[in-house]
């Protein structure tokens, strides 16, 4: 007769609840690597983390809330990485700033894939406003580390966010994307995320610097 591992004991202290919340986020992310968002259910997440479904809902009321929390966690980690790199390298020239931003995004493919869900799925949630407020707060924390006036620094980060979504969309490993490999004439559409993001950021930052210089002339 098959046996099942015992369910985790009930989390009681704030520390235990924080660990349990993290376990749920990791379980959802593991499932998401093999299951499309539309096909993934809260029941599956509960089974993956070995919790009763009712217990799962004590932490996240909806799948949208769960994935927004997961994306928020990734954003916090990315902005921490970006801030550390900016403090370390202190870039001043546009191309150097673009290189640091590009470097900060290495290893954050999961975040970029989650970003693709924002416009089509996650932002339908009432929690979307709160999520956007969190992202803006992270940008405002990172902005003083950029060698630009506050308003321009925020603009750079907003553009970076948008460019991530756009280039990730073109590089996403989807069945329709993989079929391009069968058609040599379509190879120009097989783009490299890091290279194209860096090219876009360099163009943006050089343009903004020239625009500021012209305004101050």
Q: Which domains, ranges and CATH numbers included, belong to the chain?
A: 9-60 (1.10.10.60), 65-216 (1.10.357.10)
What is the band of 152 on the pLDDT scale with cuts at 50, 70, 90? very high
Please tell me the distance from the alpha carbon of residue 25 to that of residue 48, in angstroms, as a whole number.
11
What long-range pairs does 113-117 form, CB within 8 A, spacing at least 24? 113/168, 113/172, 114/67, 114/70, 114/71, 114/74, 115/71, 115/161, 115/164, 115/165, 115/168, 116/165, 116/168, 116/169, 116/172, 117/37, 117/67, 117/71
* 11-67: pLDDT as tens digits: 567 888 899 999 999 999 999 888 889 899 999 999 999 999 899 999 999 999 999
pLDDT at 93 (0 to 100): 95
pTM for the full predicted model: 0.84
- Average of per-residue pLDDT across 71-95: 96
pLDDT exceeds cutoff 60 at 4: no
Give the tens place of pLDDT for each residue, 207-217.
988 877 766 76
Averaged pLDDT score across all residues of the chain? 86
């Amino acid at each position: 007769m098959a046996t099942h591992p015992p369910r985790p004991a009930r989390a009681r202290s704030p520390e235990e609840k924080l660990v349990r919340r993290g376990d749920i986020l990791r379980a959802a992310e593991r499932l998401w690597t093999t299951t499309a968002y539309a096909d993934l259910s809260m029941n599956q997440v509960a089974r993956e983390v070995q919790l009763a479904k009712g217990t799962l809902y004590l932490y996240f009321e909806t799948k949208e809330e769960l994935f927004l929390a997961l994306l928020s966690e990734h954003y916090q980690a990315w902005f921490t990485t970006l801030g550390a790199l900016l403090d370390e390298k202190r870039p001043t020239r546009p191309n150097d700033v673009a290189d640091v931003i590009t470097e900060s995004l290495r290893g954050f493919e999961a975040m970029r894939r989650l970003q693709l869900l924002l416009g089509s799925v996650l932002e339908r949630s009432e929690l979307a406003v709160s999520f956007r407020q969190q992202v803006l707060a992270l940008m405002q924390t990172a902005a003083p580390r950029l060698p630009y006036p506050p308003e321009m620094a925020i603009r750079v980060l907003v553009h970076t966010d948008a460019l991530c979504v756009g280039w990730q969309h073109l590089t996403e490993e989807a069945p329709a994307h993989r079929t391009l490999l069968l058609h040599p004439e379509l190879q120009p559409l097989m783009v490299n995320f890091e290279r194209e993001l860096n090219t876009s950021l360099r163009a943006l930052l050089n343009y903004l610097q020239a625009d500021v210089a012209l305004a101050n002339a």
